[in-house]
């Protein structure tokens, strides 16, 4: 099991990426601003600085910060 608390899943065929925080679905992100908002709602006020921190965020499938379907 992955111990990274935040997972940005592969892009959906229609675009956007599902985001989970501690295994719970936070929502569908269409850009970094959406991910940051999900993290802020979860109580992570320094969310902007976490997106590229591999200890906090795992980007699965596709490239980090890209939300369009392949």
Number of H helices, E strands in the chain: 1, 4
Task: Supply the pLDDT for residue 52.
Answer: 94
> Residue 23: CA atoms inside 13 Å, Cβ hemisphere, count?
3
Indicate the domain borders of the chain: 6-58
Q: Are 23 and 12 in contact (CB under 8 A)?
A: no
Cut 0.85: pTM above it: yes
What's the pLDDT at 42? 93
Q: What mean pLDDT value characterizes the chain?
A: 92
Average pLDDT (43-64) is: 92
CA dihedral of residues 56, 61, 63, 66 (deg, nearest 10): -90
Q: Which value, to the nearest 10 degrees, does the dihedral of the CA atoms of residues 52, 54, 60, 62 take?
A: 40
């Amino acid at each position: 099991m992955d111990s990274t608390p935040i997972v940005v899943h592969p892009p959906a065929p229609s675009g956007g990426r599902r985001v989970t925080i501690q295994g719970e679905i936070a929502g569908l992100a269409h850009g970094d601003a959406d991910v940051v908002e999900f993290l802020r709602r979860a109580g992570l006020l320094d969310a902007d600085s976490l997106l590229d921190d591999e200890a906090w965020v795992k980007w699965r499938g596709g490239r980090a910060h890209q939300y369009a379907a392949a």
